[in-house]
Amino acid sequence: MLAVGHSPAPVVRAIQTQAAKYIHPGALVTTYEPYVRLAEILNEVTPGTFRKKTILANSGAEAVESALRLAKNATGKFEVAGFWGGFHGKTMGTLAANGSAYTSRVRSGRRV
């Protein structure tokens, strides 16, 4: 969230204008033309001749969670390789995959 002050008129007008056009409920819920077009452009400019798919996520953690689900569905396996002490978010999947749950507890003074 961006701190912009208490209801500055330009921000309020921009929100009202956007809400009148389209309210974005989240990429994982629905798609719409600008989303589809951007995904197509990203697929076109990504190098390689393999079949490409694109998902736009709200955060890095959401992207990592999606990647974990996709990898599980594609391979049928539950194991992933991660970096101990890395940080990719505070969701269950991101913490479990990279050891950050332990790192976060130690940094906050809570030891297991």
Q: Please state, in angstroms and rounded to a whole number, the distance separating the CA atoms of residues 41 and 44.
A: 5
Question: Does this model's pTM top 0.85?
Answer: no
In this prediction, residue 13 carries a pLDDT of: 95
In this prediction, residue 51 carries a pLDDT of: 93
Q: Please state, in angstroms and rounded to a whole number, the distance separating the CA atoms of residues 112 and 102.
A: 8
Q: Please state, in angstroms and rounded to a whole number, the distance separating the CA atoms of residues 41 and 54.
A: 10
Instruction: Summarize pLDDT for 3-56 with one digit per residue, the tens.
Output: 788 889 999 999 899 888 877 666 556 667 888 899 999 999 999 999 998 888
Confidence label for 106 from pLDDT (cuts 50, 70 and 90) = low
Indicate the average pLDDT of the chain. Answer: 80
Position with higher pLDDT, 107 vs 59: 59
